[in-house]
């Protein structure tokens, strides 16, 4: 009960004082926040491999898999690189992330879930190929590349 009260108080404080917590994302396994340097933390502890969120207030999409919560954060790099993002996995073992994925293509990604696999595709910035990604909590991120369809 005390944990729920503390979580509610933190969420209220984050809404009322943006400088206190620039981002708050509850998960089933702990609370993701950013510090003053926009470094991602789980329950107040930094990640083993630091993840800096360029735009920490934007959660793109969140998936609940059996053993982990997987969150996509938009990494807005301005009009030159609009489709950069970080993928963060939070489980009972802790949190890990893959920062700065994506391309500088204007094509928006549309991740979707099939059972315990998250899939999405991105064209390369020069449009010569499409990269298909699959993310599984057990094996992480894999990618395959294929030539882009010819334009008509």
Residue spans of the domains in the chain: they are 2-104
State how far the Cα of 144 lies from the Cα of 72, in Å rounded to an integer. 20
Please determine, for residue 20, whether its predicted confidence score (pLDDT) is greater than 50.
no
Read out DSSP for 98-137? EEEEEES-SSPP--EEETTEEEEEEE-TTSSEEEEEEEET
The average pLDDT across 5-30 equals: 61
The average pLDDT across 57-76 equals: 83
Q: CA 147: distance to chain centroid?
A: 27
Q: What angle do CA 30, 34, 24 make, to 5 degrees?
A: 55
The residue among 32 and 98 whose pLDDT is bigger is 32
Please determine, for residue 15, whether its predicted confidence score (pLDDT) is greater than 70.
no
Percent of the chain at pLDDT above 70?
71
The average pLDDT across 41-67 equals: 84
Q: Taken in order 72, 77, 79, 83, is the CA torsion positive or negative?
A: negative
The residue among 30 and 34 whose pLDDT is bigger is 30
Percent of the chain at pLDDT above 90?
23
Please determine, for residue 77, whether its predicted confidence score (pLDDT) is greater than 80.
no
Please determine, for residue 137, whether its predicted confidence score (pLDDT) is greater than 50.
yes
For residue 101, how many other CB atoms are within 10 A of its CB?
21
Mean per-residue pLDDT of the chain: 78
Please determine, for residue 27, whether its predicted confidence score (pLDDT) is greater than 60.
yes
């Amino acid at each position: 009960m005390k944990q729920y009260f503390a979580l509610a108080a933190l969420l209220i404080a984050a809404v009322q004082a943006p400088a206190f917590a620039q981002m708050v994302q509850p998960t089933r396994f702990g609370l993701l926040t950013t510090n003053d340097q926009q470094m991602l933390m789980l329950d107040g502890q930094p990640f083993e491999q630091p993840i800096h969120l360029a735009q920490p207030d934007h959660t793109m999409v969140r998936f609940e898999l059996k053993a982990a919560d997987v969150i996509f954060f938009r990494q807005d790099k301005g009009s030159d690189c609009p489709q950069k993002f970080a993928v963060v996995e939070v489980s009972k073992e802790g949190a890990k992330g893959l920062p700065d994925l994506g391309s500088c293509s204007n094509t928006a990604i549309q991740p979707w879930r099939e059972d315990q696999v998250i899939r999405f595709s991105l064209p390369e910035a020069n449009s010569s190929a499409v990269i298909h990604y699959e993310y599984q909590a057990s094996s992480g991120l894999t990618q395959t590349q294929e030539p882009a369809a010819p334009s008509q």
